[in-house]
Structures are given as structure tokens and as C-alpha cells.
Amino acid sequence: MSPSTSWPAPTKRAGLAWTAALALGLAAFLFGAGLGPDSLPFPPRSDFSDAVTSHWPSAVFLRDSVREDGTWPLWRPLIMSGSPFAANPLNKVWYPPQWLVLIVPPILHLNLLAWLHLVAGGAGAWLWSRGSGLGPWPATLTGAGYAFAPRIMAAVGAGHLDLVYAAAWFPWLLWAIDRLARPVPARGSVAGLGAIAALCFLADVRLSAYFFAFAAAYLAWRWRTIPGLTLRRHGTRIALAALLAAGLSAVQWIPLLLYRAGLSRADITLNEAALHSLSPGQWIGLLIGDHGGGWETLVYMGVSTLLLALAALALRPRALAFWGLALAAVMLYAMGDHSPLWVALNRLIPPLRWWRVPPRAWFIAALALPYLAGWGAQLLAERPPDRKAARLGVAGLLGGGLVCGIFSSLTLSSSLELTALLGTFALPAAALVLLLAMRRALPPRAIMALFALVVVGDMLWIDRTLIDGRPRDTWLDPHRELAEFLEADGAARVYSPSYSLPQQAAAHWSIAQFGGVDPFQRAAYVGAFEAATGVAAQGYSVTLPAYDLAGEPGADGDGDGEAAILARANREAPIDASLLGQWLVTHVVAAFPIEADGLAPAAQIGDVYVYRNTLAPDVTLAWDGPNRVTVRAAAPFDGTLYAVSNGRWRDADGDLPGLPGAVAAPAREWAYRYDPSEVWIGLAAGGGLCAAALAGWWVVRYA
């Protein structure tokens, strides 16, 4: 399995002590980055964060639905004229750690989950690497290197918290495979592997696919290298673990499959799926970290980590060949349409296009590189190469690194932060420790400890530039006056072509929106939305309306911020107030004046223009929790009204009104309830799969 297994197995006490130290270190780092009970993470150079736009509103909605309405939310009426809530995996309704929001305020909840998952990921990497033969200090390098991996911290900063959640389970997935893939499987290994795989899937469907593919390759490698594994004993147990994982997560993947064919994502093209593909030139980022930007394309893992990983592959090429091949495959896949591997796979298997943004495969390298670096540190400390040429090369690396660091400090001190300047000394620091190891100037344990400290410091110097905690008074309170006016003016649904009413503000003040930011979109609704707003997406878009910023001043990253650019978007789009009225859009808000038949000026609040839609019928939606609604008209009218956008809604007689849920005049009141059959199917199928896994385990164990 590994080049060396001379170290004793870790004790529970040592694991708890190491985890506690990691937890304290991560807490100090996140708090220093500005995260607290009233602030959420942002990318330093961005006006938007998925934590604020998506995760916080979802957590608030789940909390309010359960605590105030006493209902488990299957539907959310607040975006896209209503959309499935529990069926959408991005909302984490079925992910058990998300339920913490029922007792903890949402902002604190999200920060706690980010911290806990970073701790869990680091602890899992430490435990798994110790079991593979690494000593305490090299395992510390691996565990801390994974917990503080720049790619994972960049996800925290971008607010991609679901990716952070899934990444936490990756090392535990490999640990569970190791416990099962033994001549005598460990007790509880089937249940452990199944439960961890299910949690990984529920944390993030997209990233779990990469982890499962890698786990399958890892298992095949273990099968080849460990004697005593048999298809009858171990193959059966692996199948039972997969069956259990499918059963535990069925309540999520079955509704997703039921909706899949009707989603706009189903028709995604190869070019759209290749978003943010890495070009060959971007691999220079392995040596030069991108401070504060490029969270989807960040590949820097620390130059010291890279140096030690390459040393491990050079010193033990056969024993670590699997990891070298895996990294090569991940690099090719992350290049997307610049890589024949990605193009061939996505043409052969079109459903793979759902997994947009190929560089997310680099999350695998976030664990693989620190793991190899741990082996490099251990091998160099215990058995350093004794060749003169190697010593001269390391001495040259040390000298060259120092020259580069000093030159950068003297010439770039006015344009770079101190952390960036300090990072230029990571390479010479690693080379110095390597030279000490080759000269045997210090004991092996001291050398390994120094390597670990250099690697952690190398990552911290860039990590701090990837997260900017911003308090709620910067991303919520500025929209209070607009939201309160819309509330007082009786807004039923609101449309903004310029994102003048951000999603988090609409969620906080419970203002239903015609558009929204969410990749879970029904294709039929997208078509109706585009007809009413005059904004047609040039391909797949996660936002309604789409924002085509080509040619906009500042769209190249210079000049105006993102919010200012969006404020100019869609200003020429022809709005159809009559069609908006059919969807009960009573107000339109924009960062620019609008001239359209049926839209009457109502107010100007700051830089935002508010219009009433005079063609919208006098109809109200009375929600009894998120899953029931009564549509009431002030007077009978002759027309069609779309009370709910899509999904499976039944009327008072129990009949399905069909997509998109039109109600026709003359009438004054219609009652609807969301059809929960998708949930019951998922629960029933999940229960059956879990029962089958339990029965199979009983047969294998006692037959």
C-alpha cells in the first residue's frame, strides 16, 4: 500500500489531541479572515458570494418553514415564481448537518458548518494517512495541508460551501475503503463506507461524482496490491456498501431524476459544460499563487508541497505510481475542452456535461498533493539521497529561491501585500530544510516537523487573501428601504432586470421574485420567463434573467465592480407587462428608467426605479406554509393566471393542474397543495434499498 509502514498505529488520544489543535488553528484563521456570528465569506475582489446569494436564503427558509410554519419545505415560492426546494440538492434539505440551522442562527450556522467541515476534512486526512504508514509529523503535513488547501479555502471565500462540505468526506471515503479492503474487513466497515458515501453525495452531487470515480480507482489499486482480497468476501461487501449509500441518499437522487428531463441543464452543450477550463499556460499557477482571485481556476497548492510531492514520486516511483497517474489524469480532466480526455469522455457520455467547470476535479489534488508531500517529507528525513549532484541541486534551489525572494521584496514591496512577499520565501525555506536533511544536520523527527511547518506557512500566505468576511450590514441592510416599500405597496411578485433587489434581500423580507439565481431551472419556465422579459440567454445560465456582459465596460475585470456592471445589463430588453401580469408580477425594479406599456412609475429609492404593473390582475397568494397556497381574486376576471411556476401541484379536488399551473377565470379562489409523491417514492425506495443491504449483510455474515 505504501513505501513504509514502520510507524505504530495512531491512538485515539493522539487523534483527538491533533484534531483539537487543528480546530483551534482553523477557528483562529477564519476569525482572522472576518468570519463571525454576523458576517459571511466573500471573494476579496467580488461583490457577490454564493454564501449570501444561495446558502443563507436556503438556510433561512428551512429554519422558518420548520420553526414558524411547522412544515418540512418541499417548495419555495420566493424565486422563479416558486421552485422545488427539497428536490434541489443545492438547498441541502436532506443533508443532516444542515439541520443545525434549526437551533443556530443562519449566519452563525453557515460559518460553523464551514469550520466543522474543514476540521473534519483535516482530521480525516490525518487519520487516513497515518493508517497508510505516515508518521505523526508527515501526517500532520497531510492533514493540515488538506484543511488549509488553497483550493478549498478559495471555495470558502467564494461561498461555495457545498463543495467544502463534500470535500470534508473525501479522505474519510478513502479511510473507509481501507478498513473494508483488508484480508479481514474491519467491523462496521460496510455501514461506515455506505454512510460516508451517502453524506458525500448529499453534501454535493457534483463533487461527489469526482470523489466516487477516484475512490473506485483507489479501490482497484488496493485490490491489486493487497493479497487476500476475494470477490466473494470483499466484492459482496463493497456492493452492499454501495446499496446502503444509494438507500440513504435516495430521498435526494430520486426526485432529482424525476425532474432531470425537464431542467434547462438537460440541454447543456459541450462548450457550456467546459466553463473555466484550464489552459496549458494556467499551470504556471502551480508555482505562482493567484492572490485573491480565480477561485475556480486556482491550482496553487504551495510550492513547498509541490517540491516534496515531486521528491516522493522520484524517490519511490513504483510504490507511488498510482498517485502520479491519478494526478496526471486529474490535470487532463481539469483542462476541459483543452484536453482530449475531457472532450472524449463528455462526447461519449453526454450526462457528464451536467458536471460543469472541469477544474473542480482539482479538489482531488487538494488531498493527493499534501499526501505525496507527507511521503516526501518522511522519505527525505529517514533516508535522504546521498548523491553529490542532488546536494548541489538543492543548494542551487536554495540560492535561487533566496535571490528571487529578496529581489521580489525590493522591487514589488509597494504593490504586493506582506503575505504575498513572505510567500516568495517558501521555496528557499523548503530547500533549506531539504539541505539540512541531506546533510543529516538534524534528527529525522525535527526535519519532518520543519517540513510540516514550511508547508502550512506556505499555504497560509495565500489562504488569507482568498476569504473576506463581510458583515450583514454591507450585503443586506442597504436594501431595506426598497424592500420595505415593496412590502407596503403590496408587491405580489417582483422582477428586476438589473438585479436591483438581490436574492438575499428578497428572501429576508419574503418578497417573491419572478427571476432568481439557481441552476435548478425548469426549461418550460425559462421559455416563459424569456418571453415576458425580452431577455434570452445565449445558452445555459444559472441566473434569470441572464446577464450577457460581453462588451460592457469593466467586464474584463478592470474598472467598475460587478454590481455596477449588472446595473447596466438588460436595459434595452423589451418588457411585456401583459405577460408579466399573467405571472402575477406586480412590480418591476431597475437601476435605470424603463418605458413599457403597462408599467407606471411608483417611486425612486436611491438609484433604483420602481414601477407598478397596471396590467397585473388584483390577485393575492395566501400561503399556508411553503407547501399550500390559496389564490384569491378581488373580482372575477377573464384571463389566465400562473399561480405557481412549475412542479406537481394539486388543486382542491386533488387533480394535477399541470405545468405551469395555470388557473383560468371566471372564478375568485383556487386552493393548491404541493404533491409530495416524489418524497414518498424516494423514502420508500430508500427504505427498500437499505433493507436489501441489511438482509444481504446478514446473509454474508451468518450464512
The per-residue pLDDT of the chain, averaged, comes to 87
Mean pLDDT of 650-660: 56
> Are residues 162 and 273 both part of a single domain?
yes
pLDDT in tens, 513-543: 999 999 999 888 999 999 999 998 888 899 9
Same domain, 541 and 445: no
Same domain, 160 and 207: yes
Residue 496 in any domain: the answer is yes
Q: Residue 337: which domain range?
A: 12-384+440-468
d(CA 422, CA 541): 40
Quick one: DSSP state of residue 426?
A: H
| Residue 415 pLDDT | 43
Residue 412 lies in a domain: no
Residues 463 and 497 placed together within one structural domain of the fold: no
Q: Is residue 596 part of a domain?
A: yes
Pick the range with the lowest mean pLDDT from 394-408, 479-493, 588-602, 659-673: 394-408
d(CA 139, CA 596): 65
**Same structural domain, 463 and 498:** no
What's the pLDDT tens digit per position in 437-454?
777 888 888 988 888 888
> 355-374 pLDDT, tens per residue?
889 999 999 999 999 999 99
18: in domain = yes
pLDDT tens-digit readout, 47-63: 999 999 999 999 999 99
Q: Of all helices (H) and strands (E), which one includes residue 523? A: helix 523-533
Q: Tell me the pLDDT band of 104, cut-offs 50, 70 and 90.
A: very high
pLDDT for 19 equals: 94
Is residue 406 domain-resident?
no
C-alpha–C-alpha distance, residues 335 and 278, integer Å: 4
Give yes or no: residues 464 and 519 share one domain.
no
The answer as to whether 414 is a domain residue is no
Q: What is the mean pLDDT of residues 266-284?
A: 89
The answer to which of 126-130, 238-242, 405-409, 520-524 has the lowest mean pLDDT is 405-409
pLDDT band at 343 (very low <50, low <70, confident <90, very high): very high
Residue whose C-alpha is closest to residue 539's, from 343, 345, 270? 270
Q: Are residues 456 and 527 in the same domain?
A: no
Instruction: Find the length of the chain.
Output: 703
Residues 6+ apart with CB under 8 A from 384: 437, 438, 440
- Domain total of the chain: 2
Question: CA neighbours within 13 Å on the CB side: how many for 210?
Answer: 31
Predicted local confidence at residue 232, as pLDDT: 80
DSSP calls for 244-301: HHHHHTHHHHHHHHHHHTTBGGGG--HHHHTTTPPPGGGGGGGTS--TT--TTT----
How far lies 264's CA from each of 97, 206, 231, 443, in Å? 29, 17, 42, 60
Write the single-letter amino acid at 664.
Answer: A
Of the candidates 117, 240, 116, 125, the one whose C-alpha atom is nearest the C-alpha of residue 172 is: 125
Are 276 and 354 members of one domain? yes
Measured in whole angstroms, the distance separating CA 542 from the mean position of its chain's CA atoms is: 14
Percent of the chain with pLDDT over 70: 87
The pTM of this model reads 0.92
Mean pLDDT of 20-43: 96
* Same-domain pairing of 86 and 164: yes
In single-letter form, the type of residue at position 151 comes to: R
Q: Give a yes or no: residue 433 inside a domain.
A: no
> For residue range 145-171, what is the model confidence (pLDDT) as tens digits?
999 999 999 999 999 999 999 999 999
- pLDDT for 286 equals 86
| 659 has pLDDT over 80 | no
In a shared domain, residues 463 and 496: no
Mind listing the pLDDT tens digit for each residue in 188-219? Answer: 999 999 999 999 999 999 999 999 999 999 99
Residues 76 and 135 in one domain: yes
Is 405 contained in some domain?
A: no
Residues 452 and 577 reside in one and the same domain: no
pLDDT of residue 413: 42
Measured CA to CA, the distance from residue 654 to residue 673 in angstroms comes to 9
Residue 512, strand partner residues = none
Measured distance CA(90)–CA(67) in Å, rounded? 21
**419 has a pLDDT exceeding 70:** no
Check pLDDT > 50 for residue 408. no
> What per-residue confidence (pLDDT) applies to 652?
64
Contact 611, 600 (CB under 8 A): yes
**Strand-strand pairing, 599-605 and 587-590:** unpaired
Q: Is 567 helix (H, G, I), strand (E, B) or coil?
A: coil
